[in-house]
Amino acid sequence: MIRQFLKCLPIAAVAMGIGSGAALAGKANDTLVWSTDRESAVADPYYNRTRELVIIGNTVWDNLLLRNTKTGAYEPNLAKSFKWVDNVTLDFELRDDVKFHDGSPFGPEDVVYTVAFTTNKEHGVVTLKNVDWMKSVEKTGPHGIRIHLHKPFPAALAYLGQAVPIIKRGHYDNAPKTQEGKLDFAAVKPNGTGPYKIVEVVPGEKIVMQRYDGYHKGGPKGTPQIKNLIYRTIKEGNTRIAELLTGGIDWIWDVPKEQADKLKASGQVTVENAKTLRVSYIAFDVDGSSNNKAFKDLRVRQAFAHAINRESIVKNLIGPASQVVNTPCHPDQTGCVQDIKGYSYDPAKAKALLKEAGYDKGLEFDIYAYREREFTEAVISDLAKVGVKAKLNFMQYKALREIAQKGETPVHHMTWGSYSIPDASGMAGVFFTGGKDDPANDPKVNELIVKAGNVTDLAEREKLYKEAFQIIMNKVYWLPMFTYAKNYAYNKDLSMTITSDEIPRFYTAKWK
């Protein structure tokens, strides 16, 4: 069966897959090797916001809290207990048995340092939205801290449970300098309190982790079973599949539907399909800052919305765990109202709008993307049917994010996983509050989104979000596409539970 499947893959992929690391992976070597196509030159969750670093961040670092994926409740992690003093003040009692990977003890000073450092804009963390809702932290006792919020923030526990990993006090104090003389905080050696520690980083190739035998007992993450954990960058999808089948790696995801079906039929690996909190979207250059001014015209953006058959992409390329959305958030996120009027698939209407905008003889532009190339190619195919010619520029995420934030892309097709925060602020609060990722910077939308993110009454939050989301859809600043569902494929000797928050918990994995 393996031979049969490998015959379907390109010869180069098969050749690269066989023998390129098979000796390292698997049960016999107590080494779990997982792989995606992303390069991870930086192993620091505050200076790299790729999904891979969200996963590694959750594996190597701990947060004050941890969300129970079965109940949805937030449980103490580095904390022993917590309570709301009022709607802008949180008290925590911390564990006294935790040590960092370098052997130093964890305490209140580390939390104070983490918040003070990361909320300082001069330090340039790329995840500022995850922490800037905190005003300050003070030590209240030998193992106590108090967090002060700028204003009420109903998603506070969600962020403290996932997106605020605690770093050692003074961690960045001796950061090396770049050639330009700036402090390179991202280059500091990783040092967390999580169940695995990083022992080697080869930029663009791999990040090697080992079980931290000094990990504290009785925490919600449990005790890791597998000794070695390695993340490898393998850019070509067929090569990843070949390596999985020949024992070079143990775990992959984002397997195209057709190949996942074949892998499942082969019976050689475990295949699962599960939803995630990720949303696919298309963003437009609405202010004309790129070299193509066509997208300043609302009629052009509306034409795109009618031209793309989102339902077909979901049905034929993703699967039943995915759905079309009309909101800049995921339906499973708190506050993400769904009663928003969107755009039906209507090529005739798209052509009429393009003609009205003066593009009846066609329109050419560059579209940028970074993942699931076949999804963007389906978009390009739909656009071609209404006389629009799009040239695909396929890039690594970091490079694309940088030019998108500078406004250099006429159109980009990207995704957002909200750091797995189950609250609408995790997505809408990033893209529509006037920051670098905001394509429109609409004052009314910004006002509504900011206000919604700080209102504790859910009905009022939903009312504010609904008004903002309808403006976004009417103006087509963003075209929400669909929720992501992933196809996972992994070693049949491996036992682990796939969760819907897109964070594989490798620290819970074990060999059968």
Tell me: the pLDDT tens digits for 338-371? 999 999 999 999 999 999 999 998 899 999 999 8
Reduce the DSSP state of residue 458 to 3 states and report it. helix
Residue 119 has pLDDT above 60, yes or no: yes
Angle at 289 between CA 287 and CA 293, to 5 degrees: 70
Residue 459 has pLDDT above 80, yes or no: yes
| End-to-end Cα distance, the chain | 22
- Topology of the domain comprising 276-485: Dipeptide-binding Protein; domain 3 (3.10.105)
Reduce the DSSP state of residue 65 to 3 states and report it. strand
Backbone dihedral angles phi then psi of residue 83, each to the nearest 5 degrees:
-160, 150
- Topology of the domain comprising 2-60+173-274+487-511: D-Maltodextrin-Binding Protein; domain 2 (3.40.190)
Residue 19 has pLDDT above 70, yes or no: no
Question: How does the average pLDDT of the chain come out, rounded?
Answer: 94
The pLDDT-based confidence of 328 (bands split at 50, 70, 90) is: very high
Helix (H) or strand (E) holding 259: helix 257-266
Q: What is the pLDDT of residue 9?
A: 55
Q: Which residues contact 117 (CB under 8 A, 6 or more apart)?
A: 123, 167, 171, 172
The pLDDT-based confidence of 24 (bands split at 50, 70, 90) is: confident
Alpha carbons 349 and 357: distance in angstroms, whole number: 12
What totals of helices (H) and strands (E) does the chain contain, helices first? 15, 18
> 413: closest CA among 387, 434, 432, 439?
439
Residue 325 has pLDDT above 50, yes or no: yes
Q: What is the pLDDT of residue 5?
A: 54
Alpha carbons 458 and 462: distance in angstroms, whole number: 6
In this predicted model, what pLDDT tens digit does every residue of 51-69 receive, in sequence order?
999 999 999 999 999 999 9
Q: What is the pLDDT of residue 319?
A: 83
- HEC string of 416-435? ECHHHCCEHHHCHHHHCCCC
Going from the C-alpha of 416 to that of each of 179, 264, 370, 379, the distances in angstroms are 32, 28, 12, 18
Q: Which two tokens stand for residue 439?
A: 């394509």
Alpha carbons 81 and 383: distance in angstroms, whole number: 54
Say how far residue 496 (Cα) sits from the centre of its chain. Answer: 20
Task: Compute the average pLDDT of residues 371-377.
Answer: 94
What single string gives the DSSP state of each residue in 279-328? EEEEEE-TT--SS--GGGSHHHHHHHHHH--HHHHIIIII-TT--B--SS
Residue 3 has pLDDT above 80, yes or no: no
Backbone dihedral angles phi then psi of residue 402, each to the nearest 5 degrees:
-65, -45
The pLDDT-based confidence of 390 (bands split at 50, 70, 90) is: very high
Residue 421 has pLDDT above 90, yes or no: yes
Residue 275 has pLDDT above 70, yes or no: yes
Domain positions in the chain: 2-60+173-274+487-511, 65-160, 276-485
Residue 141 has pLDDT above 90, yes or no: yes
Q: What is the pLDDT of residue 40?
A: 87
Alpha carbons 233 and 231: distance in angstroms, whole number: 7
Beta bridge partners of 401: none
Q: Which two tokens stand for residue 343?
A: 């755009």
Q: What is the pLDDT of residue 7?
A: 53
The pLDDT-based confidence of 6 (bands split at 50, 70, 90) is: low
Going from the C-alpha of 3 to that of each of 21, 24, 55, 260, the distances in angstroms are 19, 22, 32, 16
Q: Map tokens 């979207």 to a residue.
A: 281
Q: What is the pLDDT of residue 320?
A: 85
Phi-psi map region of 10: left, alpha, beta (phi>0 left; psi -120 to 50 alpha): beta
Domain 65-160 carries which CATH code? 3.90.76.10
The pLDDT-based confidence of 231 (bands split at 50, 70, 90) is: very high
Q: What is the pLDDT of residue 472?
A: 97
Q: What is the pLDDT of residue 250?
A: 98
Share of the chain above pLDDT 90, in %: 90
Alpha carbons 184 and 188: distance in angstroms, whole number: 8
Residue 16 has pLDDT above 50, yes or no: no
The pLDDT-based confidence of 98 (bands split at 50, 70, 90) is: very high
Alpha carbons 226 and 122: distance in angstroms, whole number: 39
Residue 431 has pLDDT above 70, yes or no: yes
Q: What is the pLDDT of residue 25?
A: 87
